[in-house]
Structure 1
Amino acid sequence: MITASDSPSPPVAWVTIVLKDVNDMSPEFISPNETTVAENIPANTVVLAIKAIDKDEGRNSYIEYSLAPAPPEGGEGPPDSSDLPFVLGPVDGLLRVSGPIDREIRSTYTLAVTARDRGDPPRTSSTRVIVRISDENDNAPVFDPRRYSATVAENASLGASVLRVSATDVDEGRHGRVRYVIAAGDPNRDFSVGEDSGVVRVAKNLNAERRSQYVLTVRAEDEAEPEARRFDTAALAIAVADVNDNPPTFLDSPYLAYVVEGAGAQALPAAVLTVAAFDADAPPNNQVRYFIKEGDNDLFKINASSGEISLHRALDRETQAEYLLTLVAMDTVTIVTN
């Protein structure tokens, strides 16, 4: 109000003063600067609404947003120049997915967001926005190698370690934890596998004569929900090595043979009979050799390999009517007498 007076009744006039805005305020961010999104999220999905305010008026308060890779912490080194899988709406400030996101390739993105008003000259503010990528179960466990082989003695003790299988899953958390199970090839459950360790062990007494070869299918699966669970399989060939745990056994003991007395020298040696012993072990533990332990070694001989007994001198029934021979069948270790 301005008053001018030159008489007892001064006139009064009202004056309005309008203050013109000067662009003296920078934009201020009021939105969160961190968010988490799932990998494999569809393109164009909004992951964060970025908001800044400017206390100026008019054009000085209009804000435009821009996006760039953030420089490293501390300002040392250039910013990440790789393509960002995000776009930022310049007017609405909506941060959207623009490309594929794979947590196994990159788990965190640090973005530099700039808010710029339309003043003359414009004022800007910047902030860091961190986008963390949460894991989805998009990778199956992988065996390396996919085929294993091992040999175990048939007399191996229960719990003896055969070998360890291994599979890795590049997912995170329970999606990346692997458990093992024997899925096929061992209906008798002669072997077991550590659920967490992958160590294959002897679970029952083995017998190479019963079964000398196993081909197991080992399954590795992650711990995702059953409907989302992923797995891989590997083949494990196990050879059961024979141990000389079976003695030779004569098949038709005792043996009886008849020989005609008075055989001429031209007919000697003459075959009497052939004995046979069976050894249930595998080669070379089942190779049998034969010997005469007791009896007349001058009259009778035995072929050590074939078991054929032969007469080498003429017999006289009136002198001796019967002969008793004690035979030995021997493998590489075991001796059996008959």
Structure 2
Amino acid sequence: MERQVLLRVFLCIASAAGQISYLIPEEMAKGSVVGNIARDLGLDVKRLKSGKARIFTSDSAEYMELSRERGVLLVKERIDREALCRQTTPCALHLQIILENPMELFRITIEITDINDNSPAFKNDERRFEISESATVGSKFVLERAVDLDIGTNGVKNYSLKPTDHFVLRVESQADGSKKVEMVLHKQLDREKDEHISLLLKAVDGGEPQRSGTVNIYVTVLDVNDNAPVFTQSVYKAVIEEHSQKGTILTKVGATDADKGTNGDISYAVSPTNDGVSDIFTIHKNGEVILVSDVDFEKAKSYQIDIEAKDSGGLSDSSKIIVDVIDINDNKPVISILSKSDTIPEDSPYNTVIVMFSVSDPDSKQNGNVKCFINDNIPFTLTSSSNNFYSLVTDSELDRERASEYNITVSCSDEGVPSLSSSVTLTLQISDVNDNAPVFDRSSYEAYIVENNTPGLSIF
């Protein structure tokens, strides 16, 4: 059934000149109007045309387009907030509007709000337990938590478990905002009466309309195992550098079981979730947590690994590992030319803008702090209106007769150790103006003539 969604676009004009912000929901139709750029920037539509107004963004994905004729910003491609920002909030696009003659730069921020377009989901469609009939009332069994790509109220809100003849659901909120989901035995099992029990775990979100996901739980009742494993810690912590080699050991976890023999044998596992964590880390029988895939700080700064310890009778305990990813300086600064002049007249005034460019580095802290500079002994300098945007301007008199062309090298380096850098070389022609009068090559001349020479004779 087609679902109709009422989309509202909110506009917030920032107090700083040359910068505006818009607030729009994800999944807006192509061609939808985001805002009236001309009006909100206080520009005439004719200025957008004459200035060849265009959009610049350091991101390769072009979600927006500018209609110069109408003076409005339009949705060019469907925006999926979850694909764009995952769980990061706020989620925003950062654009720049560039105009020529004269050069001008306006910064645009478009915040993308979430709509309830994803259902809670479990990685597996079923979960099986083997539980001893001697399991004590109050025994806990870890269930898979659902993951909802939506955020806020549109994320997972509640769980339910049916039927409740033998088990009830316990949902415990964690300090980091996640939920620990367990089923708790509240009525003694009897294998002779119920050897197999089927339950349905349901997760619902808080969106409108509400969405849900389910997983089937099958319990096989066994004999005699009266002690569950217990982890030595409720939370483990570990750190790992991005791009660490596969096979790297993060940490070692442990659990104890008071039972003897096979009922006291413990196995460990990473709890399955559909956020991909179980594909990045694994845990060995001895409790060592191992990296099995690549980690990239620019994609994820931390991970939560839900782990289980289970004995041969099916009793289990849960814990989690918080893994912080350490950034390394693995990205060079990226220089993006926004606008440039290939030729300027020699009588250009000081502070004439020659080139406008932006620089970005996805690394964090000092690894992402970038400084730019140009080669020495040229009549130009760099100015910066913010950390990311620079202008190359004249800072002394130009004279085509002394220098008709300049090769200007712009270099940008980060503060990482070792430092990474990028550079670009620009060629600028100096055009001539009529600023020099004719000059004789001598201040005086001497000549002699013999009388009776032929009329019309040249003296020099």
The answer to whether TM tops 0.5 is: yes
Q: Give the structure 2 partner of residue 138 of structure 1.
A: 330
Distance 2:291 2:272 in 1: 15
- Aligned-pair CA distance for 1:247: 2.5
Q: Give 1:221 shift.
A: 0.8
Are 2:285 and 1:87 aligned?
no
| Aligned amino acid, residue 232 of structure 2 | I
Cα distance in 1 between the residues matched to 2:340 and 2:352: 17
Counterpart secondary structure, 1:249: coil
Q: What amino acid sits opposite 1:162 in the alignment?
A: I
Secondary structure class of the residue paired with 1:174: helix
Quote the Cα distance in structure 1 between the aligned partners of 2:317 and 2:246.
28
Secondary structure at the aligned position of 1:234 is classed as strand
Higher relative contact order (CA 8 A, sep 6+): 1
Could you say what secondary structure the match of 1:198 adopts? strand
| Alignment-mate amino acid for residue 232 of structure 1 | S
Which whole-Å CA distance do the structure 2 matches of 1:28 and 1:57 have between them?
14
State which of 197, 200, 204 in structure 1 corresponds to 2:392: 200
Q: CA deviation at 1:258?
A: 9.4
TM-score (norm 1): 0.58
Name which of 433, 444, 449 aligns with 1:243.
433
Residue 26, structure 1, aligned to residue 228, structure 2: yes
Q: Write the distance in 1 (CA, Å) between the matches of 2:300 and 2:408.
A: 37
**Partners of 1:111 and 1:101 in 2: how far apart?**
14
Tell me the distance in 2 between the aligned counterparts of 1:194 and 1:68. 53
Taking a change above 3 Å as real, the CA distance of residues 210 and 67 of structure 1, as seen in their structure-2 partners, is same
- What's 2:379 paired with? 190
Deviations 1:137-168 (A, max 9, x none): 11212223599654333233334432223332
Unaligned runs of 5+ in 2: 1-135, 137-223
Q: Is the CA contact (8 Å cut-off) linking 2:339 and 2:355 kept in structure 1?
A: no
- 2:440 and 2:272 map into 1 onto residues whose CA distance is 86
Q: 1:63 aligns with which of 266, 269, 272?
A: 266
C-alpha distance 118-189 of structure 1, shift in aligned 2 (>3 A): same
SS at match of 2:279: coil
Is 1:117 the counterpart of 2:311 in the alignment? yes
Give the corresponding residue for 2:76: none
**In 2: Cα distance, 1:145 partner to 1:112 partner:** 45
* Residue 95 (structure 1) shift: 0.5
What TM-score does the superposition give when structure 2 sets the normalisation length? 0.44
**Pairing 1:106–2:326 present:** no
> Is contact 1:34–1:129 with CA below 8 Å preserved after alignment?
yes
Distance across 1 between alignment mates of 2:340 and 2:237: 46
Would the alpha carbon gap of residues 92 and 129 (structure 1) be closer, same or farther in structure 2, given more than 3 Å must change?
same
Match of 1:332 in 2: none
CA–CA distance in structure 2, aligned partners of residues 30 and 273 of structure 1? 114
| Cα distance between partner residues in 2 of 1:223 and 1:209 | 40
Answer yes or no: is the 8 Å Cα contact 1:182–1:218 preserved in 2.
yes
1:38 aligns with 2:241: yes
Q: Identity of paired residues, percent? A: 29
For 1:52 and 1:271, locate their aligned partners in 2 and report how far apart those are by CA, in whole Å. 120
SS at match of 1:59: helix
The CA distance in 1 between the partners of 2:338 and 2:423, in whole Å, is 7
Alignment partner of 2:367 out of 160, 175, 180: 175
| Aligned length in residues | 234
For residues 44 and 229 of structure 1, the distance between their equivalents in structure 2, rounded to whole angstroms, comes to 28
* 138 and 146 in structure 1: CA distance in 2 versus 1, 3 angstrom threshold: farther
Give RMSD over aligned pairs.
Answer: 3.6
